[in-house]
């Protein structure tokens, strides 16, 4: 097994010095389908919870202090908020689904980002949520119900084999299954090998190709992973540019630009328009986000 030192050296080679002990803080997202931001903050503060706004997120707050488990509160059970890590709220902010649009959420379970999209859309328009895992879809169904989502149809299916009768989507979120990162999994360093990344990349590219097929001309695809590995991030987006002519949009936010040179390989300069969340810079888990337009 390569182990922690191997990966830290690898990240150093990618231009980033990490300790491997970075952590993240509990964050929540206000469910604006149920309550206004200020109202929820006031209500939780009345219960002794201290929150601070995450300035780059529409509805995101860091929980500075709470004397009880937020996940077992009336407010959580009523769907007034979700516990959702700050970095994982960012891809939907980039996608910015609007009321009336038709949106595809390709690997949707357990549904945190699906409910976030519904909130952005004010429950208007349509979200198609698809996942291949029936077990994880039970969690999605519960989350949709708890959060009051009414503009979603969800399928238990392999998205690569699903057709929508000619419907093309305005926007697609591909939150691809990936190898994850060490910040949210302390055993990560002892579980992962570089060959896992190549195997994941193959699956991710297949999903990207499917996404592109379902996207209308002028539509937006947001591709995201919680992996720091370039095989699952920049190299996949390079593949999308090379094989489908994707145009990348520059993402503004708190992270670093995507890599344009990876382990000795020079990539398209447009990859600098993507965004990387390095855990030491953002205080979050690792994340990667790319926004591509079909033209």
Q: What minimum distance in Å lies between the beta carbon of 155 and another protein?
A: 5
Q: What minimum distance in Å lies between the beta carbon of 109 and another protein?
A: 10
Q: Are 102 and 131 in contact (CB under 8 A)?
A: no
* Catalytic pick among 147, 152, 178, 226: 226
- What would you measure as the largest C-alpha separation in the chain, in angstroms? 54
Q: What minimum distance in Å lies between the beta carbon of 48 and another protein?
A: 14
Judged by CB, which is closer to another protein: 130, or 201?
130
- Sign for the CA dihedral angle at 139, 143, 146, 150 comes to negative
Judged by CB, which is closer to another protein: 13, or 150?
150
- Sign for the CA dihedral angle at 155, 222, 264, 20 comes to negative
Token pair for residue 186?
A: 């302390």
SS3 label, residue 257? strand
Where are any strands of DSSP class E within 120-163? 126-131, 152-156
Judged by CB, which is closer to another protein: 146, or 276?
146
- Exposed, middle or buried: residue 156 (CB in 10 Å: 0-12, 13-18, 19+)? middle
Distance CA(85)–CA(284), nearest Å, equals: 7
> How many residues are listed for the chain in this entry?
295
Q: What minimum distance in Å lies between the beta carbon of 156 and another protein?
A: 5
SS3 label, residue 5? helix
Chain contacts with another protein (rule: CB under 8 A): 71-72, 74, 77-79, 102, 125-126, 128-129, 137-142, 144-146, 148, 150-157, 162-165, 167
Judged by CB, which is closer to another protein: 135, or 247?
135
Distance CA(277)–CA(57), nearest Å, equals: 14
Judged by CB, which is closer to another protein: 137, or 259?
137
Judged by CB, which is closer to another protein: 85, or 105?
105
H helix or E strand, kind and range, residue 76: helix 74-77
Distance CA(157)–CA(272), nearest Å, equals: 34
Q: What minimum distance in Å lies between the beta carbon of 107 and another protein?
A: 15
Question: Is 226 part of the annotated catalytic residue set?
Answer: yes
SS3 label, residue 279? helix
Q: What minimum distance in Å lies between the beta carbon of 142 and another protein?
A: 6
Q: Give the residue numbers marked as catalytic.
A: 226
């Amino acid at each position: 097994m390569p182990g922690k030192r191997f990966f830290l050296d690898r990240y150093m080679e990618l231009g980033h010095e990490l300790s491997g002990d970075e952590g993240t803080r509990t964050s929540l997202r206000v469910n604006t389908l149920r309550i206004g931001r200020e109202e929820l903050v006031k209500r939780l503060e009345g219960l002794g919870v201290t929150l601070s706004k995450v300035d780059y997120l529409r509805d995101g707050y860091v929980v500075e202090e709470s004397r009880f488990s937020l996940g077992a509160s009336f407010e959580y059970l009523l769907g007034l908020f979700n516990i959702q890590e700050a970095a994982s709220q960012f891809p939907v902010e980039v996608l910015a689904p609007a009321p009336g649009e038709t949106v595809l959420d390709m690997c949707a379970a357990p549904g945190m980002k699906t409910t976030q999209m519904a909130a952005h859309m004010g429950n208007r328009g349509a979200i198609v949520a698809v996942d291949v895992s029936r077990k994880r879809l039970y969690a999605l169904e519960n989350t949709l119900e708890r959060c009051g989502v009414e503009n979603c149809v969800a399928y238990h299916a392999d998205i690569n084999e699903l057709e929508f009768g000619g419907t093309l989507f305005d926007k697609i979120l591909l939150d691809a299954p990936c190898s994850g990162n060490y910040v949210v999994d302390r055993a990560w360093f002892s579980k992962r090998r570089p060959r896992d990344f190549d195997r994941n990349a193959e699956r991710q590219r297949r999903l990207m190709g499917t996404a592109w097929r379902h996207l209308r001309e002028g539509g937006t695809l947001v591709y995201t992973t919680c992996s720091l590995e370039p095989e699952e991030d920049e190299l996949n987006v390079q593949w999308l540019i090379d094989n489908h002519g994707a145009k990348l949009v520059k993402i503004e936010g708190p992270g670093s630009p995507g890599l344009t040179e990876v382990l000795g390989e020079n990539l398209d300069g447009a990859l600098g328009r993507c965004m990387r969340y390095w855990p030491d810079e953002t205080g979050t888990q690792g994340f990667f986000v790319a926004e591509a337009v079909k033209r």
